[in-house]
Chains A and B, each alone.
Chain A
């Protein structure tokens, strides 16, 4: 049997399939959220299963997380990204004490206890400052793809300070900087430094090593290094950082089954809904 996690994030939907015996990840899928996240999630889930020659009947349990977690029709239960990223990191890098997750629209810091459970967390407020959206908008202003932003920044000899934390104001600020002769590479390096500084504000004085970075922004080259400078601690990027939340969701689904199997209480968010699910009974109507 397998278990699955779907992370329906603000920008992308990620699916991870996990072997319920070994706990190892065996399948992945990722795609843009689009305008109909429920359907996109279903498509990506089916794609991940098909690539492994599996069918949905073999999925013992599925946990959804992320911004659109409530829309995932296949989910047996939902758990927040905060708990899922913590669970995913605990699996991949069990010594971790601080998780910095920079996603498409959110930035979060999660502090873990020695046993990997969530001790505390902080998250950016209303606006998208400090998230992948910030880099996306500034990259577009520099006529670069977000994937090229790191390479562009690497050519810089002196980052340009970007003081606006608001994405909209920062775009205006960059327009002004370019108009007064700033180089695109320096602005790109400034954008990474600015985002790193926002992340460092969330960490505050409470950064506890080892620090691990997750979320799609971790894939931008130079980003982890910029955060290391900003927080003064080494930062390791989680393996497949975009998938950490979905992996955590799948592992929480698996924890729920094993907990139900030996009679212990089910874990956070499962709320007992996974009890008896290995036989596929009692699934929501959307599940075929």
Chain B
């Protein structure tokens, strides 16, 4: 199997090829293990803090002794419950998240001592107000002009307020030392996940995009998870597998592919594609940059890292386009597919600019898929994906 130099360097390390299967199997049981961990942590008096967005610095929650848990919903089954209170014309991620709340069906949300949200998109922001009627919440205001110095200062102050709020609510002092420890832990996890993603740069990567998507956890920095990231990284390059070099390399961009909502990812790979790069919040976007461990003031370092995320709520969102250019160069996709959850206005409108970048600057075919969590349009999406791949293959033959 042809593989990247990173893989060859690691090939000498101790771990059998079976280790790759063990590591992949480990993350299949992710939700159950996270639930056990959170339940035990709660019994020991540690607060459970729900988060809804990658803009929330998990480091602050961890430094407060809390357990940050991602609450984003990926189930179609909770949506009708959500629509009792929310409009149907709202993004499925927001509806699913809220539907779990209506049904009392997300154990992490049920045990949460606090939910932290940001003013990213309007749907999430207003949903949080409904959630706040029954759950303690803290809202961080996210300024949306990424190149504006005042906006950055404001974001920094919002993080200071979050630190204070966590400290007050849980009656703990958050020390700079504790914060630095959390930053180091998160950087380590980000680095490991980044290296796993980089395995997809190979001509024939040792895993699929769907498998890579599973290599993460709804609670960050669990010691056993970190060990399994290490083991996956050591063993995957020597994994026995089929040649994937004939598949169409896809860069997937757009909305997050939340646990349970992987339908389009699976469809793309079932129809001959290989998702080599995921430029979204469940892929590379939040782990591209680390927090500066050497910064004199860790709060300033957190401010820079998290304000640098390029969600489509930012205007103008130049950093996303810079990232797409760089990722296309690193991962050599044959085409770009943008996934947009229905009624996600900011990604939907921005898709026009993404299409322009992909077609004109990168010279690649672009396909936008707008859908929700219901499988009713899978066959229609498949036609478009297959036609895209037919076009890509025809172009390759010249």
Contacts and interface: CB of A to CB of B under 8 A. Distances in A.
Nearest to B386: A80
B376 A117 contact: no
Interface in B356-398: 359, 365, 370-371, 376-377, 379-380, 383-384, 386-387, 390-391, 393-395, 397
Interface string A254-279: 00000000000101110000000000
Interface residues on B, range: 10 to 19
Contacts of B383: 67, 80-82, 106, 123
Contacts of A125: 370-371, 377, 380
A265 B386 contact: no
A83 interface: yes
A165 B397 CA distance: 40
B387 A80 contact: yes
A82 B387 CA distance: 6
Interface in A121-137: 121, 123, 125-126
Nearest to A117: B394
A121 B387 contact: yes
Contacts of A269: 386, 390
Interface string A78-95: 011111000000000000
Contacts of A106: 380, 383
Contact of B377 (A82, A119, A126, A265): A126
A106 B383 CA distance: 11
A67 to B, nearest CB: 7
Contacts of B394: 83, 117-118, 267-268
Nearest to B393: A268
Contacts of B387: 80-83, 118, 121
Nearest to A66: B383
Contact of A126 (B359, B376, B386, B391): B376
B380 A83 contact: no
Contact of A118 (B376, B380, B390, B397): B390
Contact of B391 (A81, A118, A123): A118
Interface string A110-124: 000000011111010
Contacts of A120: 359, 365
B238 to A, nearest CB: 30
Q: Is the interface of B mostly helix, strand, loop or mixed?
A: helix
A67 B387 CA distance: 13
Contacts of A119: 391
A267 B397 CA distance: 8
A126 B375 CA distance: 10
Contacts of A117: 391, 394-395
Most buried by B among A67, A117, A126: A126
Contacts of A80: 383, 386-387, 390
A265 B246 CA distance: 14
A195 to B, nearest CB: 18
A5 to B, nearest CB: 15
A123 B390 contact: no
A17 to B, nearest CB: 23
Interface string B148-183: 000000000000000000000000000000000000
Given A125-B370, A265-B397, A67 B379 contact: yes
A81 B384 CA distance: 9
A139 to B, nearest CB: 24
B384 A83 contact: no
Interface in A55-111: 67, 79-83, 106
Contacts of A67: 379, 383
B371 A126 contact: yes
A164 B111 CA distance: 45
Nearest to A119: B391
Contact of A123 (B359, B384, B393): B384
A268 B365 contact: no
A106 B384 CA distance: 12
B365 A79 contact: no
B391 A83 contact: yes
B386 to A, nearest CB: 5
Contacts of B370: 125
Contact of B380 (A79, A123, A267, A268): A123
A80 to B, nearest CB: 4
A125 B381 CA distance: 8
B338 to A, nearest CB: 13
A121 B369 CA distance: 12
Most buried by A among B371, B380, B387, B395: B387
A240 to B, nearest CB: 22
B382 to A, nearest CB: 9
A125 B368 CA distance: 11
Contacts of B371: 125-126
A117 B394 CA distance: 8
A67 B397 CA distance: 26
Most buried by B among A80, A118, A120, A269: A80
A252 B395 CA distance: 16
Contacts of A267: 394, 397
Nearest to B374: A126
A119 B365 CA distance: 8
Most buried by B among A67, A121, A268: A268
22 contacts: A67-B379, A67-B383, A80-B387, A81-B387, A82-B383, A82-B387, A83-B390, A83-B394, A106-B383, A117-B394, A118-B387, A118-B390, A118-B394, A119-B391, A121-B384, A123-B380, A123-B383, A123-B384, A125-B370, A125-B371, A268-B390, A268-B393
Interface of A: 67, 79-83, 106, 117-121, 123, 125-126, 265, 267-269
Interface of B: 359, 365, 370-371, 376-377, 379-380, 383-384, 386-387, 390-391, 393-395, 397
Given A80-B386, A117-B391, 19 more contacts: A67-B379, A80-B383, A80-B387, A82-B387, A83-B391, A106-B380, A106-B383, A117-B394, A117-B395, A118-B390, A118-B394, A119-B391, A121-B384, A125-B370, A126-B377, A265-B397, A268-B391, A268-B394, A269-B386
What are the 10 closest A-B residue pairs judged by CB atoms, nearest first?
Answer: A82-B387, A268-B390, A80-B387, A126-B377, A83-B390, A268-B394, A80-B386, A118-B391, A80-B383, A265-B397
